[in-house]
Amino acid sequence: RPKLRAELGAIGRPLLVAVGSLERHRGYDILLDATHAWRRLDPVPLVVLAGEGPLRGELQRRIEDEELPVRLVGPREDIPDLLAAADIALLPSRWEARSPLAQEALHARVPLVATRVGGIPELVGDAAELVPYGNARALADAVAGLLDDPGRRELLRDRGARQAAGWPTEDETVAQVLSVYDELTRPRPLI
């Protein structure tokens, strides 16, 4: 963890991590808006966005022009390690069904701030801070509140572990899908 945090430039400051393709529906424009509020914090958190996509140039220009504490690190093979190094995981998307990032964050006991959209509320239950999509102020306030409250972060870690423990394993999910497939493809008697 310390080595990865050093590599990212997050020594002595909070590390906030978002993972996903750099596309409009991910809400990264809202995330960049929220970072303006975090510049007043001491120390200023570093936001790391892992992923690639068509908005990379636009996001990079904003980061540079507005001098935002954000790094675009491109696609990564070490997402579990990146999450383990994070203080908070961020999911500012306009839509998510069953987000892999949310699942990995809760499994890794990383506090999550996510938008209250799609399947996220049902997936995470009370194990994350949920904010409305498109509300940079709510996102900024939720993160600042968590950074200021170690007890709340620990509570979310514990809730996240409990929530993740109730999800089916990969083997159970495969077995369930195969069972449904078998049921749907079983020959039916002619009437």
Q: Other CB atoms closer than 10 Å to residue 169's CB: what's the count?
A: 8
Domain ranges of the chain: 2-185
Please tell me the distance from the alpha carbon of residue 49 to that of residue 47, in angstroms, as a whole number. Answer: 7
pTM: 0.88
User: For residue 32, what are its two tokens?
Assistant: 């960049």
Strands 15-19 and 46-50: parallel
Q: Report d(CA 29, CA 69) in Å as an integer.
A: 14
- Per-residue confidence (pLDDT) for residue 168, from 0 to 100: 72
Q: How far apart are CA 157 and CA 127, in angstroms?
A: 7
The yes/no answer on whether domain 2-185 falls in CATH 3.40.50.2000 is: yes
Q: Please give the chain's pLDDT, 191 residues, in tens.
A: 889 999 999 999 999 999 999 999 999 999 999 999 999 999 999 999 999 999 999 999 999 999 999 999 999 999 999 999 999 999 999 999 889 999 999 999 999 999 999 999 999 999 999 999 999 999 999 999 999 999 999 999 999 999 999 877 777 777 777 888 888 888 877 76
Looking at residue 182, its pLDDT comes to 80
pLDDT score at 174: 76
What's the pLDDT at 178? 81
Cα distance between the two ends of the chain:
64
Note the pLDDT of residue 191.
Answer: 67
